[in-house]
A and B are shown apart, each in its own frame.
Chain A
Amino acid sequence: MSGFNKVVNSYEEALEGFKDDMTVMIGGFGLCGIPEGLIDQVYKMGNKGLTAISNNAGVDGFGLGKWLEKRQISTMIGSYVGENELFEKLLLSGEMEVILTPQGTLAEKIRAGGAGIPAFFTATGFGTKVAEGKETRNIDGRDYVLEPSLTADFALVKAWKADTMGNLIFNKTAMNFNPMMATAGKITVAEVEEIVEPGELDPNYIHTPGIYVQRVIKGNNFEKRIEQRTVKA
């Protein structure tokens, strides 16, 4: 078997080495483009004390909402609580530490983490709570906040297609945080809808090169739940 074959055949194998107290990134925007099967597997395993990095925290009872139910997350880093009631409750009661991070800063922290950049200056959040306790600097007349980058023990991402070597292609807005997270995980696991042989994906259209991906699993049952089903009148 090729040393570049990243395909695993079970969710157990996909999450081998996943432990309590680890830092984990989870791709998705709302429920769009989330690695549903990997999330369910961590829920089944019941690991606690996790630091979860994800834009949102699912909804009550689905996606990361499940991890909240079992109180598996001790620290959540994300940008939007939205309509998730349990999340808001855990936040307000202090039961879970929540580090609310501006969405663009979150995306860039992850991108930087994967690219070996330890921190960067951004104008976002200057003069707000987000900048409290952080180094600031005036560059050419404008004020900026120093934001440290993020990496993780595991990055759980969702892609549309992969080849067995871990090259990934995402579909439409299900891309969102997934490509950056793929670069920032020590172990990146991609849950995909279809796995093809090397050479079947056009190298011109690879979104995430396989070097970033350690494991690929074909998801067996994507629910792809829709949060706001809106149609033309």
Chain B
Amino acid sequence: MKKLMLGNAAVARGLYEHGCRVASSYPGTPSTEITEELSNYPEVYTEWAPNEKVAMEVALGASIGGARSFCAMKHVGLNVAADPLFTASYTGVNGGMVIAVADDPGMHSSQNEQDSRHYAIAAKLPMLEPADSAECRDFVGEAYRISEEYDTPVILRMQTRIAHSQSIVELGERTDAGVKEYTKDPKKYVMMPANAIGRHVVVEERTARLRDFAETSPLNRVEMADTAMGVIAAGTCYQYVKEALPNASVLKLGMVNPLPVKLIQEFAAKVEKLYIVEELDGIIESHCASIGVKAVGKELFGLLGEYSQRTVAEKLGQPLPAGEAFPEAIPGRPPVLCPGCPHRGMFYSLHKIGVTVSGDIGCYTLGALPPLTAMDTTICMGASISGLHGFNTARGAESAKKSVAVIGDSTFMHSGITGLIDMVYNRGASTVIVLDNSITGMTGHQQNPTTGYDIHGVAAPAVSIEKLCEAIGVNRVRVVDPNNLKEFEATVREELAAEEVSVIISRRPCALLKSVKPKPALSIDHGKCITCKMCFRIGCPAIAMVEGKVEIDPTLCVGCGLCQQLCPKQAITGGDK
């Protein structure tokens, strides 16, 4: 049967068909749907872990235990999981182990543009890179085969345009790989120096064998055409090259680490001019330079952002299609907090109080944008709390009275807890606001350890944020509804004044949750409205000026009532108030 499938769904299909039994992941765009889709196959155990390091350790444990295992993450998630990654390379596997990592050239939904291929090189692990959904499915099977034959975890490198593009996949049946025997083998699995010294030898030998494999594997293929121009490319870039240069000869790499030597040298010898088209860093290019192959790459195509067929055509002097532009600049449409979003009232209050806000990763990062502009820093998962501790330590006791950290429930579980322990243990006095909206929001509603549900939506033990904070030693834990602006502001002011660490749990479920029923839309009483625009200060997309009057769009408004609390003339009608 043929099916139009998202690259991520095709990876899940490949895992199902090739006998994966255990998968553990932390959500991260653009990798999330792999594990979500996989959870629909009852033959595969799936779970959301609190972070990527835990997920990879679960997958490695399952592999040592004899099952084909899997974990998925976005590129920055691999930073979190780097510790087990490097040593998993030494232990190798028992059941096959595949790690999917999704890069995000162009940063559609990320805080940096790092290239995960560096990790494959540094950890000495084979890495495959599919170029469409059919390859996503097939490469998973090949990855498990390589993993078990070469005794190594295998990284499957995804990119936004592969992960989030749908193309046609021919579905197959599942072959159950079973659970292999586990035999105690400390020399392989106990990585203390004496044993690891021996395993490093194994890793280097394995890399040499994999390099030979790369020379002949069908994962890498030459498509000879016009020899005037040859191009080496993988993944999305291969597709851009095929689109822009249908007559060029192409060496398509499906295995991007280790890279072949002879195959590249022979291909280079057959073409008059060689180009390397690769997004992000010049990794294939550096490899070519190291084996004496001359090629044009980054000097022409650059290091920034994502490419397209137009990039390839433009840089190589091909004719470019053109369209007509609208005769006026179009206002930008940045993403915004949704109507009814519980973060809106919280950020309005913080903006009003005028505190420095140490931010984190999630929907609430949008609080950095006008008109709320209530965010000073956003670095990585968990950095809001630890970063604030550093900031206030540098600036002295008064600073803690004028600053807060904001972090979501899922991010707090991921890596906020350790920062909070640091803050309490080292006698900090800062204020931390945990934004508990009962879901992992930004990545599209995944459950997490605080929500009380597992990946299948089945009731599960819930971590109590209050009790956890108390156990860490936080004496001041407050729970408040961010949509009650007066109470929220008063609570923040009290906790800022406190001489010890405070945690405010800003608790209201995400407005997009099915369990949250929208209330009837509010409307403007134009007899009372004085167009003071106070209601515009919360940045609600449902409120706008229409022909000189303030109007509420009834198709967008969910009746949260936040704007009513700001209106000095009670001109916003409807709802409870």
Are A and B co-members of a single complex?
no
